[in-house]
C-alpha cells in the first residue's frame, strides 16, 4: 500500500481513538468546552506532526546522482520507506526508480513500516500534487556552486565544526559543505542531515576529542 493511503487509513483509526477520548471526557462530566477543545487539539497536533514529518520532497533523478556517499543513499531509502540493503549502486537504482515514479510530484508522503502494514485495510483515493518548485538552479535542485554561499557557511552542516575560511570540505568530517548546506534547505534534506550528523558525530567522538556539543 502507498504511504498516502496508509496514512489515510491510520488517520481514520486515529480520529476514532480521538472520538473515544471525547466520549471518555463526556463520561467524566468534563466541561463541554473541554470536551470539544481537547480532542480538537490532539487532532491538530497529529495533523501538524504528520504533515511536518511525513510529507517530504521528492529528490529528483539528477540530484540523486549527486549523492556520492552510500550512507546518504541508505538514509534517503529509509526515509522513503524503500529497502536499505545492498551496495551504493543498488540503493541509487532504487531511489532513481522512486524518483521516476514520482516525477510529477514535488512532494510525497512517506510512512514508517508499521503504518504501511496497518493501513492495508482501507483504501483512500490519491490525488498527486503538482510540482511547485521546478525552476531552481546545479548543486541539488540544479543550483550552481557559489563562493558567496560557501563563504556564508560558518559551521559544518554535518558535524557542526567551525569551517575553515578556504576550502569546500569540512576538515573534521570531510563533508562537502555546500552540497550539504543546500541539502539542508529542504525538508527531506534536514531529515537526511539529522540522521547523518548523528552517525558522523558518533564516529568523530571517538576520533576527535574537541567537538562542540551536538545541537
Ligand atoms: Zn564536518
Mean per-residue pLDDT for 5-26? 93
Q: Do 45 and 2 have their domain in common?
A: yes
Q: Do 44 and 79 have their domain in common?
A: no
Given a cut of 60, whether residue 215 has pLDDT beyond it is: no
Confidence band of 171 (pLDDT split at 50, 70, 90): confident
Backbone angles phi, psi at 182, to 5 degrees: -65, -40
Measured in Å, residue 125 CA sits from the centre of ligand 1 at: 44
Whether residue 64 is contained in a domain is answered as yes
Whether residue 179 is contained in a domain is answered as yes
How many distinct structural domains can be found in the chain?
Answer: 3
Whether residue 65 is contained in a domain is answered as yes
Q: What percent of the chain has pLDDT over 70?
A: 86
Q: What is the DSSP letter of 128?
A: P
Could you list which residues have their CB under 5 Å from ion ligand 1?
Answer: 156, 158-159, 161, 170, 172-173, 175
Q: Do 75 and 102 have their domain in common?
A: yes
**pLDDT of 146:** 83
Whether residue 73 is contained in a domain is answered as yes
**pLDDT of 172:** 82
Highest mean pLDDT among 73-87, 166-180, 201-215: 73-87
**pLDDT of 113:** 78
Measured in Å, residue 70 CA sits from the centre of ligand 1 at: 17
Residue 84 lies in domain: 58-110
Measured in Å, residue 211 CA sits from the centre of ligand 1 at: 10
Q: Do 144 and 203 have their domain in common?
A: yes
Mean pLDDT lowest among 12-26, 47-61, 79-93, 152-166: 152-166
**pLDDT of 133:** 34
Whether residue 156 is contained in a domain is answered as yes
Amino acid at each position: 500500500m502507498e504511504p498516502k493511503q496508509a496514512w489515510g487509513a491510520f488517520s481514520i483509526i486515529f480520529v476514532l481513538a480521538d472520538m473515544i477520548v471525547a466520549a471518555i471526557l463526556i463520561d467524566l462530566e468534563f466541561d463541554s468546552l473541554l470536551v470539544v477543545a481537547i480532542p480538537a487539539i490532539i487532532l491538530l497536533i497529529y495533523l501538524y506532526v504528520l504533515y511536518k514529518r511525513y510529507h517530504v520532497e521528492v529528490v529528483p533523478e539528477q540530484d540523486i546522482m549527486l549523492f556520492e556517499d552510500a550512507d546518504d543513499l541508505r538514509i534517503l531509502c529509509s526515509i522513503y520507506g524503500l529497502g536499505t540493503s545492498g551496495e551504493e549502486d543498488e540503493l541509487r537504482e532504487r531511489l532513481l526508480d522512486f524518483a521516476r515514479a514520482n516525477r510529477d510530484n514535488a512532494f510525497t508522503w512517506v510512512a514508517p513500516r508499521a503504518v504501511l502494514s496497518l493501513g492495508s485495510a482501507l483504501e483512500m483515493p490519491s490525488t498527486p500534487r503538482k510540482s511547485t518548485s521546478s525552476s531552481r538552479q546545479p548543486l541539488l535542485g540544479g543550483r550552481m556552486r557559489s563562493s558567496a554561499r560557501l563563504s556564508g557557511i560558518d559551521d559544518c552542516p554535518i558535524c557542526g565544526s567551525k569551517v575553515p575560511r578556504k576550502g569546500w570540505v569540512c576538515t573534521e568530517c570531510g563533508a562537502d559543505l555546500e552540497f550539504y548546506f543546500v541539502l539542508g534547505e529542504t525538508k527531506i534534506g534536514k531529515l537526511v542531515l539529522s540522521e547523518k550528523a548523528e552517525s558522523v558525530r558518533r564516529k568523530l567522538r571517538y576520533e576527535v576529542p574537541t567537538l562542540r556539543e551536538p545541537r
